[in-house]
Amino acid sequence: MFFTGKIRPASPGRHLSSLPPTASLTTDTRTSEHPGEGPEEHLAEALVSTGNLAHNYRRVRERTGETCRVMGIVKANAYGHGANHVSKTLESLGVRDFGVANIDEAIRLRTSQSISGGASVLAFCSPPPSHIPFYLRHDVQATICDFDTLRAAEAVAGSENRTLGIHVKIDTGMGRLGIAPAAAFSLLTAVEESPSLRLEGVYTHFAQSTSQDSFTRQQFETFRDLCTEFEHRARRRICKHVANSGAILCNPETVLDMVRPGIMLYGYRPDDGTPSGADLKPVMQLRAKVIFVKEVEAGATVSYNRTWTAPSKRRIATVAAGYADGYHRMLSNRSRVSIGGRFFRQAGTVTMDQIMVDLGDDDLVRPGDHAVLFGWDGPPVDELAKHAGTISYELLCAVSSRVTRTVV
Ligand SMILES: Cc1ncc(COP(=O)(O)O)c(C=O)c1O
Q: What is the pLDDT of residues 61-89, one digit of tens each?
A: 999 999 999 999 999 999 999 999 999 99
Pocket test of ligand 1: the residue of 57, 124, 249 to mutate, having most ligand atoms within 8 Å of its CB, is: 124
**Fold that domain 284-407 belongs to in CATH:** Lyase, Ornithine Decarboxylase; Chain A, domain 1 (2.40.37)
**What residue spans in the chain does CATH classification 3.20.20.10 cover?**
50-259
- Regarding the beta carbon of 72 and ligand 1, being less than 6 Å apart is answered no
- Regarding the beta carbon of 29 and ligand 1, being less than 6 Å apart is answered no
Q: Cα-Cα-Cα-Cα dihedral of 41, 46, 48, 49, to 10°?
A: 80
Give pLDDT, residue 15: 35
Residue 207 has pLDDT above 50, yes or no: yes
Residue 13 has pLDDT above 50, yes or no: no
In the chain, what's the furthest Cα-to-Cα distance?
Answer: 78
**Bridge-based pairing state of the strands 258-259 and 69-73:** parallel
How does pLDDT run across 357-387, given as a tens digit for each residue?
Answer: 999 999 999 999 999 999 999 999 999 999 9
394: part of which helix (H) or strand (E)?
helix 392-398
Query: Which residue CA neighbors atom 6 of ligand 1 most closely?
Result: 262
- Regarding the beta carbon of 261 and ligand 1, being less than 6 Å apart is answered yes
Cα-Cα end-to-end distance for the chain: 20
Beta strands in 211-335 (DSSP E): 240-241, 258-259, 284-296, 301-302, 308-309, 314-319
- Regarding the beta carbon of 338 and ligand 1, being less than 6 Å apart is answered no
- Regarding the beta carbon of 262 and ligand 1, being less than 6 Å apart is answered yes
Atom of ligand 1 nearest to the CA of 263: 9
Higher pLDDT, 170 or 30: 170
Residue 169, C-beta contacts closer than 8 angstroms, at least 6 positions apart: 124, 126, 143, 144, 145, 177, 178, 179, 202, 203, 204, 205
The yes-or-no answer on residue 281 being catalytic is no
Cβ atoms of residues 67 and 92 within 8 Å: no
**Which of the four pLDDT bands, split at 50, 70 and 90, describes residue 35?**
low
Q: Which CATH class is domain 50-259?
A: alpha beta
- How far apart CA 126 and CA 142 sit, in angstroms, is 7
Q: How far is the CA of 302 from the centre of ligand 1 (A)?
A: 40
Pocket test of ligand 1: the residue of 105, 205, 269 to mutate, having most ligand atoms within 8 Å of its CB, is: 205
- How far apart CA 337 and CA 362 sit, in angstroms, is 14
Is the whole-model pTM more than 0.85? Answer: yes
The CA–CA distances, whole Å, from 115 to 9, 134, 328, 382 equal 18, 18, 32, 30
The closest of 384, 385, 295 to 346, measured between CA atoms, is: 384
- Regarding the beta carbon of 263 and ligand 1, being less than 6 Å apart is answered yes
**What residue spans in the chain does CATH classification 2.40.37.10 cover?**
284-407
The yes-or-no answer on residue 75 being catalytic is yes
